[in-house]
Structure 1
Amino acid sequence: MQTDRTDAPAPVSAERRLSAVLALIAGAALIVVTVVFLFHHGVYFVLGLLGLAIAAAGAWFAITERARRRIIGSSVAILGLAVVIIALVLAIVDTGRFVIMAFVALGLFAVTTACARHALTPHLHELDRLHQPLRPRHPVLICNPKSGGGKVERFGLVEQARGMGVETIVLAPGDDLEQLARDAIARGADCLGMAGGDGSQALVCSVAVEHDVPFVCVSAGTRNHFALDLGLDRLDPRTNLTAFVDGVQRHVDYATVNDRVFVNNVSLGVYATIVQQDSYRNEKAQTTAAMLPELLGSTAQPFDLQFRTPDGRDIDGSFLILVSNNPYSGALFDAGSRRRMDTGTLGVVAVSAQTGADAARLVALSAVGLRKTSPAWHEFTTDEFEVRARGGQAYAGIDGEALDLATPLVFRSHHRGLRLLVPADNPLAESRRRARNVDLRAIVQIAVQHSAVR
């Protein structure tokens, strides 16, 4: 039975209502200042965007072509950056108001964002009723001593977990991680935890889901994307261990591709092909630089990947398809992270440019925030997605693990299907992540709500 109800509406305090009102006032002022700014400096703004687009297109050719084309691309990128600098200098020289208005706009943006996020974040006492504490009787933590450059040993995770009464298993060379998790369940484990990277987290998650026991994520990997998007502490994995003894329960989504669980994403195309190379593990930058001209240059062949968009269009030859467990944020300062982990949807991003010139145009449009206007860019959410390949096989990077899978690849989102046990302060951190998605309608509703918690 579910014990958390994170979707239930929470009462709004007078403090949050005031923050919402301030956010609306500052936001309106920001719009006015922006309009005035563009009226006086619009020509420089447009010139700067043009230079940014030129620089992005040149950079694309510089990394995907060889010899003379690479030199030309680098030269174009430098030219574009020069145009950006010239536009900025002209604007500053033209009038001192440019600097003043820029600082005012930045200040209003900061006030709007801070107040909006504060208004959208429930207080601790408002979250108490949504989450119930849970303490397992027989928790088991599996540790990968090699993950994250030896974080398990560096932070003393084994000793600390055992001191909490948690059965601890240290992964040895040749061990089958999934089988270790199953054996733990067979011995009576009522909670599974994993101290390791994202790929390891997904494997143990799959066993926890299968047996309907809560899962504890301990951020002992290198990047720890899953822990980041859950709002867990990535810098000190010891704080994650408190979930075993002083934890609350959350329900989040997990996703599958051909019944294999993933918690972050599956990449197809360029990245998936590069990570298949033996040299990639030890020489990531060198391997990538050597392969990009072959995979994306003017003589590259389209990838054998086909899919259908929700609006019925058939797309063939995408050189990148990224399917994520919940969509990634498209915001500039929040790109590469997911604000929510319980939307019940997959995020799909694909690039289907057929030529290097098409790709360069897309990169240029992306540089000025207009990538969605390109016919080569496909971005949508769905609860189920299928990718086909005429050859019957496709390289895939699943939570960072390189695999060669039989097609079709069927992706599914499993809404709130994973029971998590998290530290008691995690619901507040999770609410703050949600609040980054500033919704004008929600802000207005909070501002005009008459019933408030005192």
Structure 2
Amino acid sequence: MTAAAAGRPPRSVMVLTNAAAGAGHAEKAARRATARLREHGIEVLNTAGADPEDAIRLAREAVGRGVDALVTAGGDGMISLALQALAGTGTPLGIVPAGTGNDHARAYGLPLGDPEAAADVIAAGRTATVDLGRATTADGTGRWFGSVLAAGFDSLVSDRTNRLRWPRGRMRYNLAILVEFANLRPLPFRLVLADGTVIERDLVLAAVGNTSSYGGGMRMCPQADPADGLFDLTVVRAMPRLKVARFFPTVFKGTHVQHQEVEIHRTSSLRIESPGITAYADGEYIGPLPVQVEVVPGALRLLVPAGARGADTG
């Protein structure tokens, strides 16, 4: 068992970086965090994958070599890659937030915009054991996720963003929102929950939350607890376009749950169906619906600040 997996401060870590994350800030954040980790006497190996598949390969190799923790410097997309290697292994994940959304970091109270403080959290070796989601597409492909899986209007926006070649950065996403809003229509969904409950109606979206937020602080599942063995499913029923425009700003405060069009369900698994709709989780493409989603309790150990919710005491 590695030092961090046993609840002791890590002696060796791999720092996995996405140099493009956070408009190029991730590489600088990784250098600063690495320097601080070495000040703590921790052996640090820095690496960056040539592409997502290469990043997952490097992460799995690091776990196989027995590093005390795998550290990501980047955003939620880089964390998503790390989860594919870490889930169920007991090797902890350390996070140096350096992306655009940083929703995992928000969920666990990790320091934003301060790589040295993030490194101090990693060096302290405090862990939380948390749940992960597992999404499986119709062809049997499975993918782990840590925050929110989304399908509907928001996944259509992501589809549109990925097709656009101009403009760059956040403006491309904003343009995709405008285009999809202009094309907004009721989306027929069928959801089957673990207890057999069937939800079959026209929706704006369905969001499956292991943690509360996605998209850089959109608190779509505001009461989600990543250590309770359940998802919070937020279902937003179809509504007129003008009402949708007024609805979305309330998501950042989590007050959207007060709208009569919003339903919250808690479930350990569900099947999501909707023709022509894809699913995204942790901001990454999962695949076309239908998708089967389940909670895997305690699948990840995460290095967290003192007093963080779910922190292990032993």
Does the C-alpha gap of structure 1 residues 217 and 254 become closer, same or farther in structure 2, counting only changes over 3 Å?
Answer: same
1:270 to 135, 138, 153: 153
Residue of structure 2 in register with 1:427 after alignment: 306
SS of aligned partner of 1:430 = coil
Q: Deviations over 1:73-106 (max 9, x none)?
A: xxxxxxxxxxxxxxxxxxxxxxxxxxxxxxxxxx
Residue of structure 1 in register with 2:119 after alignment: 241
Residue of structure 2 in register with 1:194 after alignment: 72
Residue of structure 2 in register with 1:386 after alignment: 271
Q: Deviations over 1:24-51 (max 9, x none)?
A: xxxxxxxxxxxxxxxxxxxxxxxxxxxx
Unaligned 5+ segments in structure 1 are 4-131, 433-454
SS of aligned partner of 1:317 = strand
Q: CA deviation at 1:338?
A: 5.5
Q: CA deviation at 1:236?
A: 0.7
1:167 to 44, 59, 67: 44
Q: CA deviation at 1:281?
A: 5.6
Residue of structure 2 in register with 1:308 after alignment: 192
Distance 1:185 1:334 in 2: 32
Residue of structure 2 in register with 1:397 after alignment: 280
Distance 1:372 1:166 in 2: 49
Does the C-alpha gap of structure 1 residues 264 and 281 become closer, same or farther in structure 2, counting only changes over 3 Å?
Answer: farther
| Same amino acid, percent of matched pairs | 21
Q: CA deviation at 1:133?
A: 4.6
SS of aligned partner of 2:22 = helix
Number of aligned positions between the proteins = 286
Distance 1:189 1:250 in 2: 18
Distance 2:13 2:257 in 1: 47
Q: Assess if the C-alpha contact under 8 Å between 1:198 and 1:224 holds in 2.
A: yes
Does the C-alpha gap of structure 1 residues 251 and 292 become closer, same or farther in structure 2, counting only changes over 3 Å?
Answer: same
1:141 paired with 2:15, answer yes
Q: Assess if the C-alpha contact under 8 Å between 1:326 and 1:343 holds in 2.
A: no
SS of aligned partner of 2:111 = coil
2:26 to 125, 135, 152: 152
Letter aligned with residue 274 of structure 1? V
Q: How does 1:48-59 map to 2 (within 5 A)?
A: none
Q: Assess if the C-alpha contact under 8 Å between 2:80 and 2:145 holds in 1.
A: yes
TM-score, with structure 1 as normaliser: 0.55
Residue of structure 2 in register with 1:349 after alignment: 234
Does the C-alpha gap of structure 1 residues 174 and 334 become closer, same or farther in structure 2, counting only changes over 3 Å?
Answer: closer
Does the C-alpha gap of structure 1 residues 362 and 142 become closer, same or farther in structure 2, counting only changes over 3 Å?
Answer: closer
Q: Assess if the C-alpha contact under 8 Å between 2:221 and 2:234 holds in 1.
A: no
Q: CA deviation at 1:357?
A: 7.4
Residue of structure 1 in register with 2:109 after alignment: 231
1:410 paired with 2:286, answer no
Q: CA deviation at 1:138?
A: 3.2
Q: Assess if the C-alpha contact under 8 Å between 2:269 and 2:294 holds in 1.
A: yes
SS of aligned partner of 1:228 = helix
Residue of structure 1 in register with 2:128 after alignment: 250
Q: Deviations over 1:190-211 (max 9, x none)?
A: 3212111112112212312242
Distance 1:232 1:420 in 2: 11
SS of aligned partner of 1:150 = helix
Letter aligned with residue 166 of structure 1? E
Residue of structure 1 in register with 2:182 after alignment: 293
Distance 2:25 2:246 in 1: 40
Unaligned 5+ segments in structure 2 are 137-141
Distance 1:428 1:346 in 2: 23
SS of aligned partner of 1:211 = coil
Residue of structure 2 in register with 1:179 after alignment: 57
Does the C-alpha gap of structure 1 residues 337 and 361 become closer, same or farther in structure 2, counting only changes over 3 Å?
Answer: closer
Q: CA deviation at 1:154?
A: 3.2
Q: Assess if the C-alpha contact under 8 Å between 2:212 and 2:220 holds in 1.
A: no
